[in-house]
Amino acid sequence: MNVTRRNFVQALGTAAAALGLVRGSFGQDRSGKIANGLFAIPGEASSDPLTYLSVQHFEPFIGTTFDGRSETGRAVLLLTEVADLSAIANTQRGYTGPSYSLLFEPTSRTPAEDTYLFDHPALGQFTLHVAAVDRRKRQYEGVVNRIARPSLD
């Protein structure tokens, strides 16, 4: 393929336009700044219970199973531990919001590391990405991190 100066300039213009579309889709205004210094949260995310569920919501359900479905299949996981991941350093810097870990064990076959739509009789439906945390894939972890940096207002 012969690349001429004209083809190069046209390709560069197309790439710049595509970059502008991509930047716009992430909540940036024309100046390139992101609203409040943060990425906008998609509206559909606010309907997911993980936007408000906390460590205290999950602790009573240690020892119960969570039924999850994803594009790769089904996972039935037993909740074995809930750990608060709050860090004093974050609080000292003015960061706020919950951060916690949910540890699970598979009840039957080894599930894929994936984002599952979980269904629990008391907590409802929520999406959570789980990944194996040991080599033999006997423990899986899902992390919920809603830490926000301080407002600069």
Domain ranges of the chain: 5-37, 43-145
CA dihedral (112, 117, 121, 123) positive or negative: positive
Confidence (pTM): 0.67
**pLDDT by residue (tens digit) across 70-119?**
998 899 999 999 998 888 887 788 888 888 999 999 998 888 999 999 98
Which residues sit opposite 144 in a β-bridge? 100
Phi and psi, residue 132, nearest 5°? -65, 140
Indicate whether 21 pLDDT > 80: no
| DSSP-derived 3-state class of residue 66 | strand
> What is the fold of 43-145?
Thrombin, subunit H (2.40.10)
Helices and strands, counts by H and E, the chain? 3, 6
Closest CA to 151 of 18, 44, 3, 37: 37
From residue 49, alpha-carbon distances to 21, 91, 111 in Å are: 31, 24, 23
Phi and psi, residue 147, nearest 5°? -75, 135
Q: How confident is the model at residue 50 (pLDDT cuts 50, 70, 90)?
A: confident
